[in-house]
Structure formats: structure tokens, C-alpha cells
Amino acid sequence: MEQTAHDRGEGYIYVTICEEGKVQIKDADTYTPAASLFQMNNFKMEDCIKLVEQPIYDSIPCMSPHVVKIQDVLKVVLSQRNLFRSAWSSAERLEDKTVVITGANTGIGKETAIDLAKRGAKIIMACRDMERGEAAKKEVIESSGSENVLCMKLDLADSKSIREFAEAINKDEPKLNILVNNAGVMVCPYGKTADGFEMQIGVNHFGHFLLTHLLIDLIKRSAPARIITVSSMAHSWSSINLEDINSEKSYDKNRAYSQSKLANVLFTRSLAKRLEGTGVTTYSLHPGVVQTDLWRHLNAPQRAIMKMVSPFTKNSSQGAQTSIYCAVEPSLDKESGGYYSDCAPANCSAAGKDDVVAQKLWDMSCQMLSLTWE
């Protein structure tokens, strides 16, 4: 007897309610648990979700799944999350402060630039595409009312560009109070940087590692100062493959992205230890599920899910809030090396607290970038 599409599970995204009451959305391509994408992983919902089938997209069925109407799940989670979350706001001023923001021509980077410019800081927008960067600079000036905004060329996929940018900053700027390592690439097809690194680990980790190293002396002289690195909750989906950091043996774009975001968390943790007593503090963060240009590389099932949940995601201004919080919140003066989400301290994964792997990653990064950083 011929199976129907329903029998085969086609046309459905499956959402499994695990024994512990956690929700997992199964990605059709990789079976990667995507619960944390929607911040559901710690939410109990046994008694409040009606189990129904919701046709979404061709998908491979999980084994013996309970199928949940995803919109209902999201509405419940969102309402519960917002019920107990207090809004963060700050009137903190940044006159006489200099800020560098990578990837500031779009998304949360641009919104971070606008906010910090409103607070009186000098903003240096570090952008790969200068045409888009100059257009964004005009937006930042118009939105903030501040003319103290520069746009400079920085391609984090090219160490030559990184060194040229850092050389110019060190030459022209007497201080650097806040460095926001914001730029990134997400789940892109396999590619290599100008230096031969896999693109995601190359841009998201190695590029910012080198940039921070080249600017660290200026940052130290500017203390108190802060270094903020935008990571993601995706850091908890993978581990660091020290044997194949560049994914040359095999490449999974989701796993490579998660690895690069975990590297951000470990880098922040290691950097904090090396900067103890200098007046420079470090922070990594999850901005939230934000509608940005980074979504352009998602596959069809992922795009289908994100389109469906887009009403529940953050816009760029909302997504920038935790970056801004880490940049200006006075109560963080004595904290360093931590991970933040929704403008508050958050728990990173166990892998994000592994100091042994963090040290190995640090040593490997120095070796691959041909630099010494004790």
C-alpha cells in the first residue's frame, strides 16, 4: 500500500517535547536541536500547549514525535519571557570616549553606533564595504545628531586589511575606550579568507582576535576601557574542533558557525584573565534572535522557520541593547569575562567555560596568526 505524504512525514516541521519538558525543533537538514534559537530550552509547557500538526515545509520526521503548533509555543514562551523581564535603560554619557565598532554599516552594529553616538562618543565605524559604510555613516549622523562619526575600511577576512586599519587607529587616535567586535558571517557556504581560514572561524574569531591584539596597547592606555564581542546562543550547539579548526576534512555550515561563536565566548574568557589589573574588562553576549542581513545564508527549511517566527524576533535596535548594555552599564565595571543576554548576566554552555580548551584555542590562534600574545 502506497504511503501518503502525511505517512512519510512530508510537509511538516517536527517539534519534540522531551522528557524533561524541553522543546526541540528539528532542522530538516542536520537534525540539530534548534530549541535555543527561540529561547525555549528551559521553559516548561506540558500543560499549556495543544498538540496539533502544523504543515510548514518538507521535513524528515523525528522518531515518535509529538508535533506542536510552533506559533502557539512561541506565543506562550514570548509572553512568559516578557512577563518577568524588566526593561533596561541608561542615561550614561560617553563624552570624550572613542568607540570602534566592526560591522557598523548594518544591523545591530549600526544601531549600536547610533546609540553610543547619541551618548557623546566619537564613533569609528569599521566596515568592509565603504560605499555601504558611508551611507550608514550618514544615517548614524542624522539619527544621533552627532557629527563625530568616522567610517574606515576594515575587512576581517584579510589580515592585511586588519593590520592597516589597526595601524591607522594607533597612529591617529590618542585613545580607544570601547571596542565592539560586532561584525560576523553566519552559516555561509564554504569559503576561505585571504589567509586561508574557513570563512566563519576566520572572520568571527581569527579576525577579531588579531584586531584586538593589534589595538590592545592603545586600549590599555585608555583604561578604564571595555572590549565587547558579539557571540550567540548558537555557541552552545557545538564544540571547538582543534584538530580541524578550518573544517577542511568536512564542512557543516551550522556547526562551523556555532564553533566560531563558541570561540568568541572562550576568547572573551581568556582575554579577561590576561587583562586582570589593567582596567580593561571584556564581555561576550547573545543579542537575541534578530532580523538581520545574516539570515541570507539560511537554507530553505531554516528560512521557512524564521519567516514564520519573525513576528516574535527582535529588530536591530532591540538586538543592539545588550551590546550597548555591556558598553555603558556602570555596574559592570568590576566584572570581566562573562556572557550576557537580554541586558543581564547569562549562563553560557559548559564548553564556554572550559579553560583548558580556551587556552588551546588561544595558543592555536597565536600560532596561526603568527603573533605572540602572552
| Tally of residues, the chain | 374
Those residues whose C-beta lies under 8 Å from the C-beta of residue 55, and which sit 6 or more positions away, are 11, 12
Q: Which fold has domain 98-369?
A: Rossmann fold (3.40.50)
361 pLDDT tier (thresholds 50, 70, 90): very high
Kindly report, residue by residue over 147-192, the tens digit of the pLDDT: 999 999 999 999 999 999 999 999 999 999 999 999 999 888 999 9
Q: Of 12, 14, 257, 339, which one is the catalytic site residue?
A: 257
CATH 3.40.50.720 residue window(s) in the chain: 98-369
Least confident of 11-25, 35-49, 259-273: 35-49
Three-state secondary structure call for residue 220: helix
What pLDDT was estimated at residue 53? 31
Kindly report, residue by residue over 316-339, the tens digit of the pLDDT: 899 999 999 999 999 999 999 999
Grid cell of 246 as nine digits: 578550518
What pLDDT was estimated at residue 44? 33
Kindly report, residue by residue over 41-67, the tens digit of the pLDDT: 333 333 233 222 333 333 333 333 333
Q: What is the DSSP letter of 87?
A: P
Kindly write down the DSSP assignment for every residue of 115-184, as one continuous string: HHHHTT-EEEEEES-HHHHHHHHHHHHHHH----EEEEE--TT-HHHHHHHHHHHHHH-S---EEEE---
The amino acid at residue 342 is D
Three-state secondary structure call for residue 248: coil
- CA torsion sign for 231, 333, 338, 198 is positive
- Asked if residues 297 and 187 have their Cβ atoms less than 8 Å apart, the reply is yes
289 pLDDT tier (thresholds 50, 70, 90): confident
Least confident of 22-31, 35-44, 219-228, 277-286: 35-44
Distance from C-alpha of 285 to C-alpha of 344, rounded to nearest angstrom: 9
What pLDDT was estimated at residue 288? 85
The whole-chain average pLDDT of the chain stands at 81
What pLDDT was estimated at residue 23? 41
Half-sphere exposure of 202 (CA within 13 A, CB side): 19
Distance of CA 148 to the CA centre of its chain: 27
Asked if pLDDT for residue 33 goes beyond 80, the answer is no
Those residues whose C-beta lies under 8 Å from the C-beta of residue 64, and which sit 6 or more positions away, are none
Closest by CA to 127, choosing from 118, 116, 119, 138, is 138
Q: Which residue has the cell 565605524?
A: 125
Kindly report, residue by residue over 75-134, the tens digit of the pLDDT: 444 544 444 455 689 999 999 999 999 999 999 999 999 999 999 999 999 999 999 999
Active-site annotation holds for 257: yes
- What is the reported pTM? 0.78
Grid cell of 187 as nine digits: 552559516
Distance from C-alpha of 109 to C-alpha of 298, rounded to nearest angstrom: 20
Q: What is the dihedral of CA 63, 309, 324, 322, to 10 degrees?
A: -30
Least confident of 11-20, 164-173, 292-301: 11-20
374 pLDDT tier (thresholds 50, 70, 90): confident
